[in-house]
A and B are shown apart, each in its own frame.
Chain A
Amino acid sequence: MKYLDEYRDPKLARLVLDKIFESVSRPWSIMEICGGQTHSLVKNGILEILPKEITMIHGPGCPVCVTPINLIDKAILLAENANVILCSFGDMVRVPGSRKSLLQSKSEGSDIRIVYSPLEAVKLASQNPDKEVVFFAVGFETTAPTNALSVVQAAKMGLANYSILTSHVLVPPALNALLSDPESTIDGVLAAGHVCTVMGFKEYYPIAKKYKTPIVITGFEPVDLLQGILTTIEMLENQRFDVINEYGRVVEKEGNPHAMAIINEAFEVSDRKWRGVGNIDNSGYQLREKYQNYDADLKFAIKMNEVEENAECIAGSIMKGQKKPIDCIHFGKKCNPENPLGAPMVSSEGACAAYYHFSHSLFQNVS
């Protein structure tokens, strides 16, 4: 496949890896922001072949993992309303709420549909005028354009029975929060290519400067990630704190203006709570006033009490990069994909799931 196979070429990867070995002279910790990057690092065995000086810290870029637990409960409550069809992205449905997951609710009889695009949910709303169709709109900047588009489209079609339950979060404010944490050990950052595809990367310059932390935008294939690590190491070794785009085949500095325009049409920036991390100012999206009729939160006005996270789960520390999945005493034992204690074990972008599914040497110790 063009633009994929080249970036999986073992020879090229080896060449970049050799350069990393040549460049590194002392220990560095690099955070990859996105769960997709984490999965690729683990799946391709890159963590095993990097020089021992380099520690990869797994970041919070797993949309499913940062969706607050009471919002999942809220989605389940909505789905249990016989008049509601709840639509969700696939990997949201296994994430445990405080009582159960959406998948469990579905087997109990709730009408929950897995869709690939929120526009499918809009279609369902127009086909089922007697039902309320709610789309569980979670994600980072990557899913924001289509989620926004679904609302704009529904408004154009005059659909009164479509709404979205929003948990949209943004990367740069979270990165700011992580780097400003006095306990942060992050020396360099691999920014997520897909997020920058939508938003560009201008927002990262002040962050790199303020925290003296080089930021490199990467793709998700082995060569992309190795090249990102190399560029980060070279900047760190030379005390350069810049932003470099190593995903030039996809990412433009200004982002995708069409996508940003549609986001801007439907959403405005708001404070958001991140599961495991806490409240971060201006770190998410909410629907603008003119689209309030499409806000499931307002439409159904469900009051939820704050619920406690499972105390045994260290997902928060993992999301902040302070701990690794294998630091958890429950990893692979009490907590596994069948019976997860927290979201990172079930999401396809969760760090715990990556370690559980793909990590050969680590997995042997826990089974």
Chain B
Amino acid sequence: MTFKEHYRFSLNRPAPTLDSDIITLAHGSGGLLTNRLLDNGVFELFDHSELQKREDGAVLNLSGSVAFSTDSFVISPIFFPGGNIGELAVNGTVNDVAMTGGIPQFLSLAFIIEEGLPVADFWEILLSIEHAANQAGVKIVTGDTKVVERGKGDQIFINTTGVGRLHQRALLDSTRIKPGDSIIVSGNVASHGMAILSKREGLEFETDILSDTQALNDLTVKLLDEFGHDIKVFRDPTRGGMATVLNEIAGQVDLGVALESEELPILPAVKSACEIFGLDPLYVANEGLFIAIVSKKVATKMLDILRGTEKGKDASIIGSVVEDHPGKVTASSGLGGKRVVSMPIAEQLPRIC
């Protein structure tokens, strides 16, 4: 990645001056240096009343059903084409809350930093977190920073937890899935995983593939407003890809999932990279799309609405729920044959030839 791609946000907003160019153990020790890091970094950026109180935690005003989710982010490399670990940490948890039918409102943000992380990189991560939180419309209300010795971590780990009230019309429950329901995917698959792979040590290849990391709460809220109970589940197929999520659903409801391979939306560059590495895009990670299982009667209209949005312009109906082969996912080959899309055993590895 070029300098410009790496420092997308901090290029025009340089980091505050600290006593050191790298994060040291002292920055996490709770003393003066911690305060300096927080004063000049975190608090200045996330400027709102809940955080500025500097209490040990935040007091939130919530009522009714609340959606609640947490996730930890340990991605390597921490900067990748199309994003970095910071925005991933915001979008990932925002999406987890959104997938339950929640409207994400508040996030916690906790860092575990390995000593030696450049302050410039930490600053860039903070700015991208600010950007992602603004985009998703969530407030960061509490957090924590720990620094561990060199070798005890991998640059930076982030944990985020998100809460938000449940959408009034949400009735997301996999037990409501029925044979005949349609399966919609909101965008091109496998981009994130291939963007990461292109930068992984030992496997680097030159490509323009970007991670799809983005918050999806605007889309899920829009669809829930319009279609309410006709939406049976939302899932975001992150690690393990589409195959994992669809196998989980098929197993939970004891029905089959039949995919039409031809309908799977995928960017040509991603498809080519998958071909070269011998990877099945159905198993590659995504960070900015969801699968919706919906009543067949609303599927076409939902597709039209999704395609009218920037984030959903490549959405597609990729298959349906069937009574055949309960618990299993199949994909048509287009030749009249079909194959099982089995639950992945472990991470896919590039093959020899």
Residues of A within 8 A of B (CB): 1, 4, 8, 10, 13-14, 17, 36, 42-49, 63-64, 87, 89-94, 113-116, 120, 124, 138-140, 142-143, 194, 222, 337-338, 347-349, 356-360, 363-364
Contacts and interface: CB of A to CB of B under 8 A. Distances in A.
A91 B351 contact: yes
B349 A114 contact: yes
Contacts of B335: 10, 13-14, 17, 44-46, 49, 222
Contact of A1 (B205, B275, B346): B275
A54 to B, nearest CB: 14
B147 to A, nearest CB: 25
B340 A357 contact: yes
Contacts of B277: 116
A114 B204 CA distance: 12
B271 interface: yes
B336 interface: yes
Contacts of B352: 63-64, 89-92, 138-139, 142-143, 348-349
B350 A356 contact: no
Contacts of B349: 90-91, 93-94, 114, 348
B350 A90 contact: yes
6 contacts: A13-B334, A49-B337, A63-B353, A114-B349, A360-B339, A363-B328
Given A94-B346, A143-B352, A43 B333 contact: yes
A43 B339 contact: yes
Contact of B345 (A47, A338, A363): A338
B118 interface: no
Interface in B317-353: 325, 328, 330, 333-340, 342, 345-346, 349-353
A363 B338 CA distance: 12
B101 to A, nearest CB: 33
Nearest 9 pairs of A and B residues by beta carbon: A45-B337, A90-B349, A115-B202, A358-B339, A348-B351, A142-B353, A90-B350, A10-B334, A337-B345
A360 B327 CA distance: 12
Nearest to B347: A90
User: Which residue, A36, A124, A360, has most C-beta atoms of chain B within 10 A?
Assistant: A360
A354 to B, nearest CB: 10
Interface of B: 201-205, 268, 271-272, 275, 277-278, 325, 328, 330, 333-340, 342, 345-346, 349-353
B193 to A, nearest CB: 14
A25 B183 CA distance: 43
Contact of A140 (B338, B345, B353): B353
A197 to B, nearest CB: 10
Given A36-B353, A64-B352, A114 B203 contact: yes
Contacts, number: 111
Given A14-B335, A44-B335, A222-B333, A113 B351 contact: no
A138 B268 CA distance: 31
Contacts of B339: 42-45, 357-360
A114 B337 CA distance: 34
B287 to A, nearest CB: 22
Contacts of B272: 1
Nearest to A36: B353
A363 B256 CA distance: 14
B298 to A, nearest CB: 29
A357 to B, nearest CB: 5
Contact of B203 (A63, A115, A348): A115
A125 to B, nearest CB: 13
User: Which residue, A10, A45, A338, A359, has most C-beta atoms of chain B within 10 A?
Assistant: A45
B201 to A, nearest CB: 7
B330 A116 contact: no
Contacts of B333: 43-45, 222
A4 B276 CA distance: 12
Contacts of A114: 202-203, 349-350
A363 B351 CA distance: 23
A43 to B, nearest CB: 5
B351 A90 contact: yes
Given A43-B333, A49-B336, A143 B346 contact: no
A348 B325 contact: no
A112 B201 CA distance: 12
B265 to A, nearest CB: 14
Nearest to B353: A142
A4 B275 contact: yes
A47 B337 CA distance: 9
B351 A349 contact: yes
A44 B337 contact: yes
Contacts of A89: 350-352
B203 A45 contact: no
Contacts of B275: 1, 4
Given A120-B204, A143-B353, A360-B330, 19 more contacts: A1-B268, A1-B275, A10-B335, A13-B334, A36-B353, A44-B333, A49-B336, A89-B350, A90-B349, A90-B351, A90-B352, A93-B349, A116-B202, A120-B202, A139-B352, A139-B353, A142-B352, A143-B352, A338-B345
Given A10-B335, A116-B277, A358 B351 contact: no
A91 B336 contact: no
A126 to B, nearest CB: 14
Nearest to B271: A1
A222 B338 CA distance: 13
User: Which residue, B204, B278, B350, B352, has most C-beta atoms of chain A within 10 A?
Assistant: B352
B230 to A, nearest CB: 30
A120 B202 CA distance: 5
Given A46-B335, A337-B345, A363 B350 contact: no
A14 B338 CA distance: 15
A356 B339 CA distance: 10
Contacts of A91: 349-352
A139 B352 CA distance: 7
Contacts of B205: 116
Contacts of B201: 113, 120
Contacts of B346: 94
A194 B338 contact: no
Contacts of B204: 120
B337 A48 contact: yes
A96 to B, nearest CB: 14
B334 A8 contact: yes
Contacts of B338: 45, 360
Contacts of A142: 352-353
A124 B338 CA distance: 42
Nearest to B203: A116
